[in-house]
């Protein structure tokens, strides 16, 4: 009997915990409400299956536990039952996978009007680069990194000269405009992770990765690193501020461009 | 010339094939130390795996203490914390679970359950263990090497694994870890080939593949998978070792480390991840399939009922094994690989849910209308069903690519994989030890201690890992030495971390009771007799218990029926051993 009660309790208490626990995701600040919705669908389907299976086991133990004189039923197979269970499972799986793939299609395809914002990770610091007046990021290369040019921006690419460089500071984003986060690392793996944005992606040295979001809520958000990057991993924090357009422009005007940064460090620029 | 009967149900004369010559030991050393007897090797494997597993258990306590009481235990600094989590993970996955299921249970059960005298290649089998032991010693040497063991996380992702920002990256740690893995794979390959060949060539007469107990199907399929998957890890380990020692750049692109341009260039960190997970995902099933097989037999024996849908169960094992080779990149959804892979890998991953669910249904349908004896092995089997279903279902979150994006690299992942490939298989391991200990030692484990051990372990582990999912849902990232002030670490989450740590200490303490029980029952346990559970399979039909070298005395058993003739209508007993003749062809086999 104790076994039956404890099994039933595990099922019921798990559901109650889910409904009553104070630990739930942070209020969303991007367009990825779809992701949250898909998680909700998945919770419903999997929660139902979990409770059904555990309660069924509890019932079996209650009803069929050994008593003197009992004998088990002898039934090696039941094709019909197995077929129906497999079919129902397939339907449940499709109900989770289909919306998931639909949302993934949106996740993969960046809107054409998205602005590029570069995030550069290094042990253990976040840096950012925004396109300047020409709306384009210049090319960059890990090999070009020096003390004066910490992001390795290509000095010979005129598109990069007006890029705005923020080393170790806050990143601001305007609300309501899609941004493509272009991700680079100069040493090890990192992962640009803002819990409220839901989206995240690893940053891999030697390649450029990306994801896109549209910020939907102004506020200040914490950036965490979500890929183990050495002992400083927990200290690798940053800040993203989502502004309204006016505040964003004000902030933008105060940032230095690549040209200004190089001039300040005394190194002559070489692009023609 | 062996006379093969026209029908497997024909009565078969007693074995007239000459026994294969076994190397019979002549001294204490060759009997107990350099033994070629699969049963002794099994015990050597198991004791070594459990010993190193206890190290991993202690490491888990230390990391939990840090998470619950950051800064209180000053000897756990960030370096040590990362070393602890790395060694804990690697030990549990490779050196405990893989070694115990295949080297331990595989060695003990394959010859006995199939009616063989021993493994086909006893000498290679012995070597397999000694190389495994060497691998364990090299692994442990990391703790004593300058700089300590590697702290790269058990996934050992380059470039950080071989750079100075990671403990052991520029010291001995990573070198010892990779060397140990290479040794493990060499040792495993010797054992693994043995298990496969023994299953294919060493079965008793009448033991057709479709009469094999599911335990053997699980171990057999897992071994085939391991032989195909481990080479990927082998290659990745060798290449990383070259990157670290010889300065090659297989996985190393151009890097500026702390302001210094390194000499590396042109390599791909993601290539390592593909190789690692090409091994790493099948590895999940290398652990899970033996557990699936064993738990099927535990449920069947202790519910006195044939396993429901045997053929479906066999096919599900084989299909899961095959599919698990085309799902690896679901560990890499946010790795930066081409995101279009997500469509393919999410689909294959969720397809695996179907055969896996069928297995769960068949376990619970075996309980349905059974005659359930709530023995300790049965309790652990029930605990397995609950934790496996829980952990399997959260896999549907992480396998569904877009749902994985917010949850990846959070505590949700930690909770998921501990539930599904930590707690659930360990439930089976304990169930199996309570089940087969009487055959191994001739004595029963103490029932009361077993009950306490089960309830504390099962409920405690559930209380550790079920709430942990919600920390991940909240957004708490994994592999954080300390989360500190953060929106994803409110005071309530910290309280929960303290609770989880207390549970972890409790569950750990319960294992001491288990070890005591295992030692105490060796001398004082109730006498088991040859077949205390009244089971059908061949290992319970040996003339003496514990079985001697050669297992079956003068004549090998001959098999006349499948492994699941429990509660057959009209039979005098509620079980019929596999080697009992069936002159009237009454065994329903698969009810065709």
- Determine, yes or no, domain membership for A55: yes
pLDDT (average), residues B315-319:
96
Considering the domain architecture, whether residues A141 and A100 belong to the same structural domain is answered as no
Query: How distant is the Cα of A103 from the closest Cα of chain B, in angstroms?
Result: 7
Q: Which of A21, A187, A221 to mutate to test the interface with B (most CBs of B within 10 A)?
A: A187
Alpha carbons B592 and B587: distance in angstroms, whole number: 11
Considering the domain architecture, whether residues A53 and A135 belong to the same structural domain is answered as no
pLDDT (average), residues B309-335:
95
Taking CB atoms and an 8 Å limit, are B369 and A193 in contact across chains? no
- Determine, yes or no, domain membership for B96: yes
Query: How distant is the Cα of B1 from the closest Cα of chain A, in angstroms?
Result: 35
Q: State residue B21's pLDDT score.
A: 64
Alpha carbons B82 and B149: distance in angstroms, whole number: 9
Considering the domain architecture, whether residues A245 and A139 belong to the same structural domain is answered as yes
Q: State residue B4's pLDDT score.
A: 46
Check whether B2 has a pLDDT greater than 60.
Answer: no
Angle, helix A2-20 to helix A33-64, in steps of 10 degrees? 170
Percent of chain B scoring above 70 in pLDDT: 95
Residue B19: pLDDT band by 50, 70, 90 thresholds? low
B577: nearest Cα among B531, B529, B546, B527: B531
Place of tokens 């920390």: B471
Cβ contacts of A191 on chain B, cutoff 8 Å:
334, 409
According to DSSP, residue B534 is labeled -
CA distances from B317 to A43, B302, B592 (A): 27, 22, 20
Cβ contacts of B255 on chain A, cutoff 8 Å:
142, 186-188, 205
Cβ contacts of B477 on chain A, cutoff 8 Å:
193, 224-226
Task: Please count the residues of chain B.
Answer: 592
Q: State residue B7's pLDDT score.
A: 53
- B79, B255, B309 ranked by CB distance to A186: nearest: B255
Query: How distant is the Cα of B134 from the closest Cα of chain A, in angstroms?
Result: 29
B514: nearest Cα among B405, B590, B429: B429
Q: What is the pLDDT of residues B143-160, one digit of tens each?
A: 999 999 999 999 999 999
Count CB atoms within 10 A of the CB of residue A46. 20
| Torsion angles phi and psi, residue B211, rounded to 5 | -110, 0
Considering the domain architecture, whether residues A154 and A50 belong to the same structural domain is answered as no
Taking CB atoms and an 8 Å limit, are B339 and A107 in contact across chains? yes
- Chain B's closest residue to A54, CA to CA, is B386
Pairwise pLDDT comparison (A67 vs B15), residue with the higher score: A67
A54: nearest Cα among B387, B300, B358: B387
pLDDT (average), residues B174-178:
97
Considering the domain architecture, whether residues A159 and A206 belong to the same structural domain is answered as yes
The two tokens of residue B364 are 């619970």
- Determine, yes or no, domain membership for A271: no
Q: Is B421 helix (H, G, I), strand (E, B) or coil?
A: helix
Q: State residue B591's pLDDT score.
A: 45
Q: Which of A22, A180, A231 to mutate to test the interface with B (most CBs of B within 10 A)?
A: A231
Considering the domain architecture, whether residues A126 and A87 belong to the same structural domain is answered as no
Q: Are B227 and B189 in contact (CB under 8 A)?
A: yes
- Give the list of residues 6+ apart from residue A32 with CB closer than 8 angstroms, or none: A107, A197, A198, A199, A213, B406
- B152, B364, B466 ranked by CB distance to A56: nearest: B364
Cβ contacts of B567 on chain A, cutoff 8 Å:
71-74
H helical segments located in B368-410: 376-399, 401-407
Q: State residue B457's pLDDT score.
A: 97
Considering the domain architecture, whether residues A241 and A258 belong to the same structural domain is answered as yes
- Chain A's closest residue to B249, CA to CA, is A206
The two tokens of residue A37 are 């919705």
- B336, B379, B483 ranked by CB distance to A202: nearest: B336
Q: State residue A1's pLDDT score.
A: 80
Cα A152 to chain centroid, rounded: 26
Residue B232: pLDDT band by 50, 70, 90 thresholds? very high
Query: How distant is the Cα of A72 from the closest Cα of chain B, in angstroms?
Result: 4
- Chain A's closest residue to B86, CA to CA, is A228
- Determine, yes or no, domain membership for B92: yes
Domain that holds residue A28: 2-65+78-108
Query: How distant is the Cα of A137 from the closest Cα of chain B, in angstroms?
Result: 20
Considering the domain architecture, whether residues A121 and A157 belong to the same structural domain is answered as yes
Contact of A62 with chain B, judged by CB distance below 8 Å, is answered with no
- B152, B159, B374 ranked by CB distance to A65: nearest: B374
Check whether B24 has a pLDDT greater than 70.
Answer: yes
pLDDT (average), residues B496-509:
97
Check whether B233 has a pLDDT greater than 60.
Answer: yes
Residue B520: half-sphere exposure toward Cβ, Cα within 13 Å? 12
Q: State residue B23's pLDDT score.
A: 72
Read off the CATH number of the domain in which A171 is found: 2.60.40.420
- A10, A73, A145 ranked by CB distance to B369: nearest: A73
Residue B463: pLDDT band by 50, 70, 90 thresholds? very high
- Determine, yes or no, domain membership for A139: yes
Q: Which of B89, B402, B468, B496 to mutate to test the interface with A (most CBs of A within 10 A)?
A: B402
Cβ contacts of A187 on chain B, cutoff 8 Å:
159-160, 163, 165, 255-258
Residue B590: pLDDT band by 50, 70, 90 thresholds? very low
Q: Is A154 helix (H, G, I), strand (E, B) or coil?
A: coil
Alpha carbons A2 and B468: distance in angstroms, whole number: 26
Cβ contacts of A17 on chain B, cutoff 8 Å:
466-467, 470
Q: Which residues of chain A have pLDDT under 50?
A: 271-272
Contact of A69 with chain B, judged by CB distance below 8 Å, is answered with no
- Determine, yes or no, domain membership for B264: no
CA distances from B396 to A44, A104, B57, B400 (A): 12, 15, 28, 6
- Determine, yes or no, domain membership for A149: yes
Alpha carbons B360 and B374: distance in angstroms, whole number: 19
Mean pLDDT for all residues in chain B: 93
Alpha carbons B292 and B357: distance in angstroms, whole number: 12
Q: Please report the residues numbered 248 through 267 in chain B whose beta carbons come closer than 8 angstroms to any beta carbon of chain A.
A: 253-259, 261, 265-267
pLDDT (average), residues B453-475:
97
Count how many domains chain B has.
1
Please state the ipTM of this predicted complex.
0.95
Alpha carbons A19 and A51: distance in angstroms, whole number: 14
Q: Please report the residues numbered 429 through 488 in chain B whose beta carbons come closer than 8 angstroms to any beta carbon of chain A.
A: 455, 459, 462, 466-467, 470-471, 473-475, 477, 479-484, 486-488
Residue B115: pLDDT band by 50, 70, 90 thresholds? very high
Burial code of B57-92, b = ≥16 C-beta within 10 A, e = fewer?
Answer: bebbbbbbbbbbebeeeeebebbbbbbbbbbbbbbb
Residue B32: pLDDT band by 50, 70, 90 thresholds? confident
Cβ contacts of A39 on chain B, cutoff 8 Å:
397, 403, 406-407
- Give the list of residues 6+ apart from residue B326 with CB closer than 8 angstroms, or none: B345, B348
pLDDT (average), residues B293-310:
96
Contact of B86 with chain A, judged by CB distance below 8 Å, is answered with no
Q: Please report the residues numbered 230 through 259 in chain A whose beta carbons come closer than 8 angstroms to any beta carbon of chain B.
A: 230-234
Domain that holds residue B435: 34-248+275-541
Considering the domain architecture, whether residues A239 and A124 belong to the same structural domain is answered as yes
pLDDT (average), residues B517-528:
95
- Determine, yes or no, domain membership for B270: no
| Contact pairs from chain A to chain B, CB under 8 Å | 332
Q: What is the pLDDT of residues B421-448, one digit of tens each?
A: 999 999 999 999 999 999 999 999 999 9
Q: State residue B420's pLDDT score.
A: 95
- Chain B's closest residue to A93, CA to CA, is B350
Q: Are B381 and B307 in contact (CB under 8 A)?
A: no
Q: Are A27 and B339 in contact (CB under 8 A)?
A: no
- Determine, yes or no, domain membership for A72: no
Alpha carbons B304 and B575: distance in angstroms, whole number: 8
Q: Which residue(s) pair with A257 in the sheet?
A: A164
Q: Are B166 and A230 in contact (CB under 8 A)?
A: yes
Pairwise pLDDT comparison (B161 vs B25), residue with the higher score: B161
Among positive and negative, which fits the CA dihedral A69, A70, A73, A76?
negative
Read off the CATH number of the domain in which B378 is found: 1.20.210.10
Taking CB atoms and an 8 Å limit, are A23 and B256 in contact across chains? no
- Determine, yes or no, domain membership for A70: no
Alpha carbons B388 and B585: distance in angstroms, whole number: 38
Cβ contacts of A75 on chain B, cutoff 8 Å:
306, 308, 369, 591
Check whether B256 has a pLDDT greater than 60.
Answer: yes
For residue A148, the surrounding DSSP H or E stretch is: none
Q: What is the pLDDT of residues B398-414, one digit of tens each?
A: 999 999 999 999 999 99
Alpha carbons A161 and B238: distance in angstroms, whole number: 43
Count how many domains chain A has.
2
Residue B1: pLDDT band by 50, 70, 90 thresholds? very low
Considering the domain architecture, whether residues A163 and A258 belong to the same structural domain is answered as yes
Alpha carbons B460 and A104: distance in angstroms, whole number: 37
- Give the list of residues 6+ apart from residue A233 with CB closer than 8 angstroms, or none: A124, A225, B479, B480, B481
Q: Please report the residues numbered 74 through 133 in chain A whose beta carbons come closer than 8 angstroms to any beta carbon of chain B.
A: 74-78, 81-82, 85-86, 89-90, 93, 96-97, 100-101, 103-105, 107-108, 122-123
Tell how strand A238-243 and strand A171-174 pair up. Answer: parallel
Contact of B153 with chain A, judged by CB distance below 8 Å, is answered with yes
Q: What is the pLDDT of residues B61-83, one digit of tens each?
A: 999 999 999 989 999 999 999 99
Considering the domain architecture, whether residues A250 and A199 belong to the same structural domain is answered as yes
Q: State residue B20's pLDDT score.
A: 57
Considering the domain architecture, whether residues A93 and A181 belong to the same structural domain is answered as no
Q: State residue A78's pLDDT score.
A: 87
Taking CB atoms and an 8 Å limit, are A230 and B481 in contact across chains? no
């Amino acid at each position: 009997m104790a076994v039956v009660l404890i099994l039933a309790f595990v099922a019921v208490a798990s559901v109650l915990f889910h409904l009553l626990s104070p630990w739930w995701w942070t209020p969303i600040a991007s367009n990825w409400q779809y992701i949250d919705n898909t998680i909700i669908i998945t919770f419903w389907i999997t929660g139902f299956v979990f409770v059904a299976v555990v309660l069924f086991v509890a019932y079996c133990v209650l009803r069929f536990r050994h008593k003197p004189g009992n004998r088990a039923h002898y039934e090696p197979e039941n094709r019909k039952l197995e077929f129906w269970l497999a079919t129902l499972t397939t339907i449940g799986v499709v109900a989770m996978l289909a919306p998931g793939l639909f949302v993934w299609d949106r996740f993969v395809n960046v809107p054409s009007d998205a602005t590029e914002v570069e995030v550069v990770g290094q042990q253990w610091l976040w840096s950012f680069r925004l396109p300047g007046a020409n709306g384009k990021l210049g090319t960059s290369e890990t090999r070009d990194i020096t003390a004066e040019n910490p992001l390795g921006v290509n000095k010979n690419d005129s598109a990069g000269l007006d890029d705005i460089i923020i080393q170790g500071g806050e990143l601001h984003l305007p609300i309501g405009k899609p941004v493509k986060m272009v991700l680079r690392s100069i040493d090890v793996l990192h992962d640009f992770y803002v819990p409220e944005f839901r989206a995240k992606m690893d940053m891999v040295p030697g390649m450029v990765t990306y994801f896109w979001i549209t910020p939907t809520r102004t506020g200040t958000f914490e950036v965490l690193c979500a890929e183990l990057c050495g002992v400083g991993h927990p200290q690798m924090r940053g800040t993203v501020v989502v502004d309204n357009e006016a505040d964003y422009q004000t902030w933008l005007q105060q940032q230095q461009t690549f040209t200004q940064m190089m001039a300040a460090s005394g190194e002559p620029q070489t692009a023609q | 010339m062996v006379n093969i009967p026209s029908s497997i149900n024909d009565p078969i004369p007693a074995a007239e094939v000459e026994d294969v010559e076994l190397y019979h030991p002549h001294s204490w050393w060759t009997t107990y130390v350099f033994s070629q007897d699969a049963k002794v090797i099994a015990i050597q494997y198991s004791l070594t795996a459990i010993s190193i597993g206890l190290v991993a258990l202690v490491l888990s306590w230390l990391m939990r203490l840090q998470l619950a009481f950051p800064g209180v235990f000053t000897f756990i600094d960030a370096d040590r914390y990362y070393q602890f989590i790395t060694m804990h993970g690697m030990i549990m996955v490779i050196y405990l679970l893989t070694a115990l299921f295949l080297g331990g249970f595989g060695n003990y059960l394959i010859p006995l359950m199939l009616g063989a005298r021993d493994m086909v290649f006893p000498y290679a089998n012995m070597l397999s263990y000694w190389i495994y032991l060497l691998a364990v010693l090299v692994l442990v040497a990391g703790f004593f090497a300058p700089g300590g063991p590697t702290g790269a996380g058990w996934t050992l992702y380059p470039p950080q694994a071989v750079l100075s920002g990671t403990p052991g990256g520029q010291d001995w740690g990573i070198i010892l870890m990779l060397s140990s893995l290479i040794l493990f794979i060499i040792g495993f390959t010797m054992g693994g080939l043995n298990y496969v060949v023994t299953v294919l060539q060493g079965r008793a007469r009448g033991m057709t593949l479709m009469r094999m107990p599911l335990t053997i199907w699980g171990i057999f399929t897992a071994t085939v998978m391991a032989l195909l998957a481990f080479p990927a890890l082998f290659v990745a380990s060798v290449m990383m070792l070259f990157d670290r020692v010889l300065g090659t750049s297989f996985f190393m692109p151009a890097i500026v480390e702390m302001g210094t341009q390194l000499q590396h260039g042109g390599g791909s960190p993601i290539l390592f991840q593909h190789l690692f997970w090409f091994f790493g995902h099948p590895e999940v099933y290398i652990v899970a399939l033996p557990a699936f097989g064993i738990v099927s037999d535990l449920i069947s024996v202790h519910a006195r009922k044939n396993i429901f849908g045997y053929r479906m169960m066999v096919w599900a094992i084989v299909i899961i094994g095959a599919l698990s080779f085309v799902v690896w990149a679901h560990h890499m959804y946010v790795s930066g690989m081409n995101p279009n892979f997500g469509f393919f890998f999410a689909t294959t991953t969720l397809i695996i849910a179907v055969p896996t669910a069928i297995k769960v249904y068949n376990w619970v349908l075996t309980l349905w209308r059974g005659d359930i004896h709530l023995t300790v092995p049965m309790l652990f089997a029930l605990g397995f069903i609950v934790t496996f279903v829980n952990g399997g279902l959260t896999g549907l979150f992480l396998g569904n690519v877009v749902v994985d994006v917010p949850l990846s690299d959070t505590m949700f992942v930690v909770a998921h994989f501990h539930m599904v490939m930590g707690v659930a298989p360990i439930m089976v391991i304990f169930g199996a030890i309570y089940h087969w200990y009487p055959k191994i030692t001739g004595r029963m484990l103490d029932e009361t201690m077993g009950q306490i051990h089960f309830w504390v372990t099962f409920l405690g582990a559930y209380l550790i890992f079920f709430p942990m999912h919600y920390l991940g849902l909240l957004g708490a990232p994994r592999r954080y030495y300390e989360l500190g002030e953060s929106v994803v670490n409110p005071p309530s989450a910290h309280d929960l971390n303290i609770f989880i740590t207390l549970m972890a200490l409790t569950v750990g303490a319960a294992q001491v009771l288990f070890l005591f029980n295992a030692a105490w029952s060796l001398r004082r346990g109730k006498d088991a007799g040859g077949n205390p559970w009244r089971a059908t399979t061949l290992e319970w039909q040996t003339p003496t218990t514990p079985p001697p070298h050669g297992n079956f005395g003068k004549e090998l058993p001959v098999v006349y029926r499948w492994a699941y003739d429990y509660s057959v209508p009209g039979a005098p007993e509620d079980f019929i051993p596999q080697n009992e003749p069936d002159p009237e062809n009454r065994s329903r086999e698969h009810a065709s």
